[in-house]
Each structure stands twice: as C-alpha cells, then as structure tokens.
Structure 1
Amino acid sequence: MRVKTEEKRDAILAAAADVFKESGFEGASMAEISARIGGSKGTLYAYFKSKEELFVAVTHAVAKKQIEPALETLDQETEDLEATLRVFGEKAVSFLCQESTLQTQRMILAEAGRSDIGRRFHEDGPKLGMQRIAAFMQKQMAAGRLKQADPMLATLQLCALLDCETVRPMMLGLETSISKPRIKRMVGRAVETFLAAYAPH
C-alpha cells in the first residue's frame, strides 16, 4: 500500500507545473510528469486521478499563493472603502496580468469546450475567491458604505470593471505589458465607476 505524503504531492505539483508550462495542457503527459519525479505513473495516479485533476491542482496551488494577499486586503477593518478596493484591485490585477497567469487562463479556455476542466477550475478556485469578495460586499452593505444589493452581483460587476481595461487586452495580445502606474490608473477608474453605481444614496 502506497503511503501518500504532502512532500510527495508538492513534488508532483512542482514537476507538473514545469511540464504544463513547457508543453501546454494537451502536449503534457502523465508519463513525462512521473518521469520528472522519478516515480511510476501508478504513484502519480495515486495522488491525482487524471491529467485534468492534476492541472487544476497545479493552477490552484500557484494562484492561492498569489491571490491570497489581495483577498486578505478585504479582511482588514477599514472605513476607507475606496482605498481598500483600490489596493485589492491593484494586487489582483497585477497577478492576473502576469504572463504565467495569462498562459494558464488560455490553456483552461482552450480545453473548457472539450472537458469539464473549466468547471473544475472555477468551482475550486475563482468561485471561492468570489464568495470571499461577496462576503466583504455584504459586510460593507450592512455598514452602510454600499447600497443594499445582491453582493455576488456587485462582486461580478466589480471584477468585470477591473478586467476590461487590463486582463482582457492582455489575454487577446492587444497589450504585452502594463506598467504599475497604468494599472493604478485603470484600477482607479474601475473603482470609481463601481462606487458611482453602488454608493449609498
């Protein structure tokens, strides 16, 4: 009976991250990943049942480390809602505009129509982040800093505003890089637009 360890799982994720980065999702193979860790495919499948499951685990492991500081911004008590949203937005957009993040998003979109990888990725990653943001929105509504509304809808609309000038152009190759000062200005416009719609009367 194989004994699973966290150290082994981390080693698999690290090796898989390299293979997916080099070969893309379609070009990557479980055989190549198992060879990188010096084990058998049987060992690999003991931890992850499929290449899709492994890929999603890799993306979440990387994203959690990078997006957590942005989400933690929302956990801090503050009465300056605009400043909090700006800091959150700048941290989140900076991560989402990294080339490695964009590459991962492109792979997920390419595979989403052929498998359930898009749903898996969303359920165990972005959906959880959205729920945390929505909880923050709910708290701000209760405090009277935002007007009463559907907190999840407010979350989706804020994220769309943050995305439209930054992540989307990068995904399409219309932009190859966005400087920190530009991100700051773009996020500022998104937050201003959001607050114009959701500020209490």
Structure 2
Amino acid sequence: MRVRTEAKRDAILEAAAEVFLEAGFEGASMSQIAARAGGSKRTLYGYFPSKEELFVAMAHNVATSFLDPVVDALSQTEELPPVALQRFGEGILGFLCAPDSVRMWQTIIGVAGRSDAGAQFYEIGPSRGHEALAAFLKRQMDLERLPPADPHDAARHLMALLEAETLMPCLFGKLKAPSKKYLRATTERALQAFFRGYGNPGMP
C-alpha cells in the first residue's frame, strides 16, 4: 500500500510550479512533472487525478504563500480603514500583478473555459481573500468607522476598483510589471473612489 505524505505532495507542487512556469499549461505534461519531482506518473496521479487539478492545487499553493501574510495582517490590524486598506491594496496588487502571477491567472482563465478548474481555484483562493476583506469592513462598520452597508458588496466593489488600473490591463498585456510607485498611486485612487461611495465617518 502506497502511503501519501505531505512532503511528497509539497515536492510535487514545487516541481509542478517549475514545469508550468517553463512550459505553460498546454506544454507541460504529467510525465515531465513526475520526473522533476523524482517519482513516477502513477505516484503523481495518486495525489492529483488530472493535470487540471494539479494546476489548481499548485496555483493555490503559490497564492496562499504570498497572500496569507497580507490577509492575516488585515484580519489582525487595529489601524483605521484608510491606513489598513492602503497596505492591503499595495500588498495584494504586488502579488497579483507580478509577471509570474499574471501568467498563472491567464492560464487559469483559459483552463476555466473547458473544465471546473477555474471555479475550484476561485473557491479555495480568491474567495478566501474576499471573506477576509468583508470581515474587516464589517468590523469597521460595527465600530462606526464606516457607515452600515453589505460588507460583501463593499469588498467586491473595493477589489474591482483596485484591479481596474492594475490586474485587468496586466491580463491583456497592456501593463507589464507595474512598479511599487504605480501600485501605491493606483491603490490611493481606488480608495478615494471607495470612500466617496461608502464614506469614512470619524476620519480626520
């Protein structure tokens, strides 16, 4: 009986990230990934039944390693909304708009057109960030730092504002590797629009 281990799973995900980055989703094969991970295809399929599922798991693993600190900081902060959300916006956009990340999002979108891989990734990835942002906004509303509203709607609107000048043009190749200065400025503009819509009572 073959025993699955977290160490082996991690090795497979690391190898998959390297191969997918080098060859793209279409060019990568399970044989290549198995060889890079130092095992057999049979072992690989024991952990991940398809290339789509492996790609989703790899993308989630990469995303959480970068985004967990940003999300955790937001959930624990006692800073006022303008300060906390500026830091959150810059942090999340820095990852979302990195060249390797953009290639990964483009691949996920392509795969989503022919399987449920995109939906799977959304549920285990972006939706978690959305929930954390909504929870932060709800807390600020309870503290009367923001007027009452649906926190989930507010979180969706804020993310759309953050991505409008950044992730969207990156996905279509209009914007490449935006600088920290650019992301700082676009985050400021997004928050200005957000606070005009949702208000910020009690702010100096």
TM-score normalised to structure 2 length = 0.94
Name the SS of the counterpart of 2:76 in structure 1.
coil
Which range moved further: 99-108 or 48-57?
Answer: 48-57
Residue type of the partner of 1:6? E
For residues 32 and 179 of structure 1, the distance between their equivalents in structure 2, rounded to whole angstroms, comes to 34
CA contact (8 A) 2:12 2:33 kept: yes
Q: CA deviation at 1:200?
A: 5.2
Amino acid at match of 1:195: F
Q: Matched residues in 1 for 2:85 and 2:129: separation?
A: 15
**Which runs of structure 2 are paired with 1:31-180 in the superposition (5 Å)?**
31-180=31-180
Residue in 1 that maps onto 2:199? 199
- The aligned counterpart of 1:9 is 9
CA shift digits 1:1-49 (9 cap, x unpaired):
1111111111101111111111211221111111222221111111112
Letter in 2 for 1:142: D
SS state of the match for residue 74, structure 1? helix
Hey, what's the Cα distance between the residues in 1 that align with 2:52 and 2:117?
A: 6
Deviations, residues 134-175 of structure 1 (Å, cap 9, x unaligned): 111111111111111111110010000000011111111111
For structure 1, the residue ranges without an aligned partner over 5 or more in a row are none
* Distance (Å, rounded) in 2 between the aligned partners of 1:174 and 1:69: 29
2:147–2:200 CA contact under 8 A, matched in 1: yes
The answer to whether the 8 A contact 2:86-2:191 is kept is yes
Aligned identity (percent) is 47
CA distance in 1, matches of 2:200, 2:183: 27
Do the aligned partners of 1:70 and 1:89 also contact (CA within 8 Å) in 2? Answer: no
Q: Give the alignment's TM-score, normalised by structure 1.
A: 0.95
Equivalent position amino acid for 1:157 in 2: H
Structure 1 residues 173-192: aligned runs within 5 Å = 173-192=173-192
Secondary structure of 1:161's match? Answer: helix
Aligned-residue offset at 1:76: 2.8
Helix, strand or coil for the counterpart of 1:3? coil
Question: Which stretch of structure 1 is more off in the superposition, 119-128 or 31-40?
Answer: 31-40
Closer, same or farther in 2 for the Cα pair 1:38/1:177, shift >3 Å? closer
1:79, CA displacement in angstroms? Answer: 4.3
Contact 2:75 2:132 in 1 (8 A): no
User: 1:110, CA displacement in angstroms?
Assistant: 1.1
Deviant stretches of 4+, over 4 Å:
none
- CA shift, 1:85, in A, is 0.4
For structure 1, which segment, 33-42 or 69-78, has the greater mean C-alpha deviation from structure 2 after superposition? 69-78
Q: Distance in 1 between matches of 2:152 and 2:105?
A: 22
Cα RMSD for the two superposed structures: 1.3
> How many residues are matched?
201
Q: Distance in 2 between matches of 1:164 and 1:138?
A: 23
In 2, Cα distance between the equivalents of 1:89 and 1:194?
A: 12
DSSP 3-state at the match of 1:58: helix
Give yes or no for contact 2:77–2:84 (8 Å, CA) kept in 1: no
